[in-house]
Amino acid sequence: MSDKYGYWPKTEQELIDFLHEHENKSHSYESVAESLTEVTLAMFNYFASKQGMTGFQASWGGLQFLKKSRGIEGPFGIIDGSKLLYPQYDLRKQLEDWIKEWEPQLAQMAKEKLEETNCQAHPDVLERWQRLASLPQ
């Protein structure tokens, strides 16, 4: 079964067949990236289904995949721009709330950066790190 959430293989063999189908295609620059997305999502769906994961567990796993695959070291969030279509969503406030929530972690990260670089960075960067490091943790 395939839907807007990708392919949902029910067996390991279906997953392997799906992988091989995408692996053995001749790809363009764009299609190889799309195939990677489809195969990764199929594996994600298969594993989550086989393990009986909750939506929360699967969401957390997906965010961790994104964090690791993009090399994100600090806090991050995803903004769904389509929410701008609806008046009940205030994305600016959501971002402000996230920044406030992230401040303790950012303060710790800034302190570590100041220590590990021995304050050897561009003056503007040092100023930012010093400001963040002074925030309450």
Q: Which of 40, 72, 104 is the last residue of a domain?
A: 72
| Predicted local confidence at residue 11, as pLDDT | 97
Nearest to 3 by CA among 32, 51, 52, 38: 38
Domain that holds residue 116: 87-137
Neighbours of 39 (CB within 10 A): 19
| Assessment of whether the complete model's pTM goes beyond 0.95 | no
93 and 68 in a single domain? The answer is no
Q: Report d(CA 45, CA 20) in Å as an integer.
A: 17
Q: Domain count of the chain? A: 2
| Predicted local confidence at residue 119, as pLDDT | 81
* Averages of pLDDT over each 10 residues, the chain, 137 residues: 84 97 96 96 96 96 96 96 97 96 97 92 95 93
Distances (CA, A) of 86 to 4, 17, 82, 95, 96: 22, 41, 8, 17, 19
Q: Which of 29, 45, 72 is the last residue of a domain?
A: 72
Report whether 46 contacts 8 (CB < 8 A): yes
63 and 19 in a single domain? The answer is yes
| Predicted local confidence at residue 131, as pLDDT | 96
136 and 91 in a single domain? The answer is yes
Task: Name the burial class of residue 102, with classes exposed (0-12), middle (13-18) and buried (19+) by CB atoms within 10 angstroms of its CB.
Answer: middle
Q: Which of 72, 103, 129 is the last residue of a domain?
A: 72
Residue 32 lies in a domain: yes
